[in-house]
Amino acid sequence: MGHDGRTPVYAMVGNPNCGKTTLFNALTGLRQKVGNYPGVTVEKKIGEAFSQHGRPMKIIDLPGAYSLAARSPDEAVTRDVLLGRRADTPQPDRIICVIDASNLERNLYLVHQILDLGRPVIVALNMMDLAARSGAKIDHAKLEDELGVPVIACEAVNGKGLIELRLAMSRAELPLARHSWDVPAPIAPAVAELQASLVDADGRSPLVARAEALLLLTDFDAVRVAGSTPHSARTATVLNTWQERWQEQGTDWSATLIKSRYDAINHLCRDVIRRPRSAGPSLSDRVDAVLVHSLWGWLCFAVIMVALFFSIFSLAEPPMAWIDEQMAALAAWVQAGMAPGDLRDLLTDGVIGGVGGIVIFLPQILILFFFIGLLESTGYMARAAFLMDRPMSKVGLHGKSFIPLLGSYACAIPGIMATRTIENAKDRLVTILVAPLMSCSARLPVYLLMIATLLPSETVPTTTKVAIMFGMYALGTAGAFGFAWLFKRTLLQSAPAPMILELPPYQPPRLGEILRHMVERGWLFLKNAGTIILGISIVLWFLTTYPKHPDPAATPDVQIAASYAGQAGHLIEPVIKPLGFDWRIGIGLVTSFAAREVFVSSMGVIFGVADAEEDIAPLRDTLRSATWPDGAALFTPLVCVVLMVYYVFAMQCMSTVAVVKRETNSWRWPLFQIAYMTGTAWVVCFIIYQLGRAFGY
Amino acid sequence: MPLCQLPAGFTGRICRLTGDESFCQRIREMGFGEASLVTKISGTTTSLCLVNGTRLALNHDAARSILVEHLPAGAR
């Protein structure tokens, strides 16, 4: 490898949450997301590192897997890359097996399978600090001696062992493993026949073919992923013949093989690891006694959520006020420096009114991501999944589905991708279908604008606003649970699936990592404001300004009603009027299909253009004074609530639609998702508005 | 007895895995196979267990399909 001048390809594999991505980032200088819970990496990531001699090396960071017998789509990616089944990824020349040293035997199970592939392997014995803290003593030199491959002790988080690992990776030749284990005799003929077929008909090398034969013969439910090359007809026939024969005989070779591997591993570890005879409860045990307690656990969960929402309002207020002042000063400066006309209006109403209206919410977005970062970094995410398992089981899912749902509070896209860790295909699809109902960060500006319009800061205590915000998040979560229950009983029926989820030890929050993630998300928010939202704001300003009304003395309201946007808005008004919305809100609903926060910038543009005064009032004040043609207030408290509820339920995100299409490999499910979510939004809003009106609101 | 019925704070030895073959294979691969020792930390509907030093959460369906024999304190 590498002798032919080609850049060598390394694959980085290991159990979930063993520190692969931290090591990958340290070697490549990239900044892939890390977290202290299983399933952060669900797709392969490719980066470039350099050897000690400055030669480039390609590294593929693969999703965590407990075994090459994949049980979920993310594990299938790992298996298929290692077996050379992916047409879009080169088969790795060398493999770095990352091991959590604090859980040696279980992590060695995957290593044991990988050594069967006959490829050069380096073992990175990571988290040595955690192992030492638990009192375990690991002789890594002895492990190297037993396995016959380089074993490097490291602590990826602290940067320890990286030089030694890079040195090992730079070696021109790596020894092949000398581990040996005996395939049970009764299964040997089947392995040999299948191995021969894989070599002859599928073009595998003999060693890879042997490892793959072992997997295929004992894999009951091989998960297929798009991009994997199917086996030849001959191999499929051989496989079916043997599996049917064993099924008739009632023989479970899978259990025998696993036991055989663990026997070999236990033999290997006998002289490698020394554990204390008895250890008292660890810090994680003591914290778990509270955080997963049937009463205290829920109380802590509620406190965390309330603290999050309270911070969003109280901590964000000063920086928001500052941004607001700067935007107003900028608009005033433009107004003072330019002659009246369309160009000035474009800058003040289109650009500053649109983009400025959304940038003001940056502090709250940063606070949201700070809290989510804390939960991910400390290990609390898995505990939340544990707590939520019981309510999730009532709707037919299990706690593992809650991790993607919790992640969807930040953004539905990574949440939907995180469903790849769910083994049951129907449970995964149900989770994908309901994940966008969890209130994401893009809804935050809409909620905040409506709460500000509904409740003036000077008269209403923060707790009331927190309660409304909490209510919207709770409504979205209840909606997700309700629809999951419905789908599991109708479209996607399946028996309850067993769940097993590893709870990692608690770690102190990695503040640097959290701050970096906050900055990345904040930058992404600003980038969207400067590109998509700016573009939509300019187009919307044009559509609300042209064609000009024939009467130059027409009021702004008459002018905007005659514009292209006004004409289009009036077409859709009959559909949304039963919800209390006029055509201007309708334009906001349509434009915000690009992204929910576009609603805020659209309101800034539309009501900025329609504002007869040249003052720079905050958007909430402009909305409060907006009226219907008969002079009745448009943004009544009822309409503000109905608008928030609409955004809780409606599918208003093109990027999510695209990701659902990719993850389900069809247009059927994203179209169904748009229909059921937006349909629900309309019906629920109709009921609330009409009941509210009947009760005199 | 099924693991879900093992009282919190007690240790059991896994004697049999029942239910879905695919699930049985996975938990064996995670070191949760026959003859392994498992300590129940808490939980009835969802169980929190300690196996080989790893904390694992199992939902009711999973814990019900793992049969254990209750070990007296001195036998561990």
Does B62 sit within 8 Å of A106, measured CB to CB?
A: no
Does A109 sit within 8 Å of B25, measured CB to CB?
A: no
Contacts of B34 in chain A (CB under 8 A): 255, 259
Determine the Cα–Cα distance for residues A489 and A555; give it in Å rounded to an integer.
Answer: 55
**3-state secondary structure (DSSP) of residue A277:** coil
Is the bond preceding A92 in cis, omega lying within 30 degrees of 0? Answer: no
Bridge partners, residue A274, by sequence: A137
What does the pLDDT read at residue A154? 95
- What is the chain A residue with the closest CA to B17? A255
Determine the Cα–Cα distance for residues A257 and A187; give it in Å rounded to an integer.
Answer: 9
Smallest Cβ distance to B30: which of A106, A259, A496? A106
- What is the chain B residue with the closest CA to A219? B22
CATH of B3-75, one of 2.30.30.90, 3.30.70.920, 2.60.40.10, 3.20.20.20: 2.30.30.90
Cβ neighbours of A264 (radius 10 Å): 17
Bridge partners, residue B48, by sequence: B42, B57
Contacts of B28 in chain A (CB under 8 A): 254-255, 258-259
DSSP A496-515: PPP-EEEEPPP----HHHHH
Does B48 sit within 8 Å of A500, measured CB to CB?
A: no
Q: Give me the residues of chain B with pLDDT under 50, please.
A: none
Does A106 sit within 8 Å of B31, measured CB to CB?
A: yes
- Contact A423/A496 with Cβ under 8 angstroms? no
Q: Which residues contact A636 (CB under 8 A, 6 or more apart)?
A: A580, A697
The CA distance from A234 to the nearest CA of chain B, in Å, is 25
The CA distance from A406 to the nearest CA of chain B, in Å, is 18
Among A625, A601, A2, A60, which Cα is nearest to A358's? Answer: A601
- Biggest alpha carbon distance in chain A? 96
Contacts of A285 in chain B (CB under 8 A): 41
**3-state secondary structure (DSSP) of residue A78:** helix
Does A499 sit within 8 Å of B58, measured CB to CB?
A: yes
The CA distance from B8 to the nearest CA of chain A, in Å, is 12
Determine the Cα–Cα distance for residues A242 and A20; give it in Å rounded to an integer.
Answer: 36
**3-state secondary structure (DSSP) of residue B43:** coil
Does B26 sit within 8 Å of A500, measured CB to CB?
A: yes
* The length of chain B, given as a count of residues: 76
What does the pLDDT read at residue A183? 81
Token pair 């990286």: residue: A162
User: Which DSSP helix (H) or strand (E) runs through A45?
Assistant: strand A45-50
Determine if the pTM surpasses 0.90. no
Q: What are phi and psi of B56, to 5 degrees?
A: -125, 135
Q: Which residues contact A326 (CB under 8 A, 6 or more apart)?
A: none
Determine the Cα–Cα distance for residues A543 and A547; give it in Å rounded to an integer.
Answer: 8
Q: How does pLDDT run across A289-335, given as a tens digit for each residue?
A: 899 998 999 999 999 988 988 888 888 888 988 998 898 899 899 98
* The length of chain A, given as a count of residues: 697
Token pair 């077996």: residue: A83
Predicted-complex ipTM score: 0.93
Smallest Cβ distance to A503: which of B26, B27, B56? B56
Does A69 sit within 8 Å of B59, measured CB to CB?
A: no
Contacts of A252 in chain B (CB under 8 A): 21
User: Which DSSP helix (H) or strand (E) runs through B49?
Assistant: strand B47-51
- Contact A204/A232 with Cβ under 8 angstroms? no
CATH of A9-170, one of 3.40.50.300, 3.10.20.600, 3.40.50.970, 3.30.70.240: 3.40.50.300
**3-state secondary structure (DSSP) of residue A95:** strand
Mutation pick from A258, A260, A403 vs chain B, by most beta carbons of B within 10 Å, is: A258
Taken in order A537, A538, A540, A545, is the CA torsion positive or negative?
positive
**3-state secondary structure (DSSP) of residue A380:** helix
Token pair 């000690």: residue: A52
Token pair 């805020």: residue: A600
Mutation pick from B39, B55, B60, B66 vs chain A, by most beta carbons of A within 10 Å, is: B55
Per-position b or e across A359-392, b if 16+ CB within 10 A of its CB: bbbbbbbbbbbbbbbbbbbbbbbbbbbbbbbbeb
Contacts of B35 in chain A (CB under 8 A): none
What does the pLDDT read at residue A279? 64
Within A275-411, residue ranges assigned H as helices are 283-291, 296-314, 317-337, 342-345, 357-359, 362-378, 380-394, 402-407
Q: Give me the residues of chain A with pLDDT under 50, please.
A: 1-3
- Contact A40/A33 with Cβ under 8 angstroms? yes
Is the bond preceding A547 in cis, omega lying within 30 degrees of 0? Answer: yes
B71: contact with A, CB 8 A cutoff: no
DSSP A56-75: EEEEEEPPP-S-SS--SHHH
What tokens does A109 get? 């199970």
Domain range list for chain A: 9-170, 185-274, 315-360+514-633
